[in-house]
Amino acid sequence: MAPTKQADPQTPNDRPLPQDFETALAELESLVAAMEDGTLPLEQSLAAYRRGVELTRVCQERLTQAEQQVKVLEGDLLRPLDPAALDDE
């Protein structure tokens, strides 16, 4: 019997994690779609879930880094929104 090529959700943990937000998010969305389809066997669903957790962490780390960069760039300009200031404009 010839070996079958496995789809992404079947071997998600064999690949290194993407380091950029967009790639990680795209892969996460693909995994979610495959899991929502309901056709994955249990073991593949669990592997996809584990990979999804790892990808979520990558995305969260990148978002946190971006937020910190914005805070540094904006310095003291970041402050809570004053709804009254919006009415004056």
pTM of the complete model beyond 0.75: no
The DSSP secondary structure of 20-54, one letter per residue, reads SHHHHHHHHHHHHHHHHHT-S-HHHHHHHHHHHHH
Q: Which CATH homologous superfamily contains domain 17-75? A: Exonuclease VII, small subunit (1.10.287.1040)
Tokens 């957790």: give the residue: 53
Domain ranges of the chain: 17-75
pLDDT in tens, 20-58: 999 999 999 999 999 999 999 999 999 999 999 999 999
